[in-house]
Amino acid sequence: DAKTTQPTSMDCAEGRAANLPCNHSTISGNEYVYWYRQIHSQGPQYIIHGLKNNETNEMASLIITEDRKSSTLILPHATLRDTAVYYCIAQARGGGNKLTFGTGTQLKVEL
């Protein structure tokens, strides 16, 4: 699976959009981009995934660049409950859920 690079930490004001970047410059054509998050003391939680097209669900939007070398997870209206570590994971098609978690981005949402 391709290596992903994320900033160590980010801050965001409550109510504002949180934009979390991820670099995956070596991603191959059959690898999806997955985002999970882990709120303190809980298990990881799936957020969203995509291959080439931008994706949106009730939690977030995923913007993938045309060359697929980077992506951005967008939480449109961050709340205090969104404070968590966010993981960007490149996962091969057919790779099931054998996920390679890196160090992620610690997002802190503040008043």
Return the SS3 of 32: strand
Among 46, 52, 79, 80, which residue sits at the site for other proteins (rule: CB under 8 A)?
46
Token pair 């981005």 is found at 105
Residue with tokens 């991820």: 22
Q: Please give the helix or strand (H or E) that residue 75 lies within, else none.
A: strand 70-75
The correct pick among 19, 49, 55, 59 for binding other proteins (CB under 8 A) is: 49
The residue (of 21 and 102) whose beta carbon lies closer to other proteins is 102
Pick the binder of other proteins from 25, 80, 103, 110 (CB under 8 A).
103
Rounded Cα distance, 109 and 73, in Å: 15
Binding site for other proteins (CB under 8 A): 32, 38, 41-46, 49, 91, 93-103
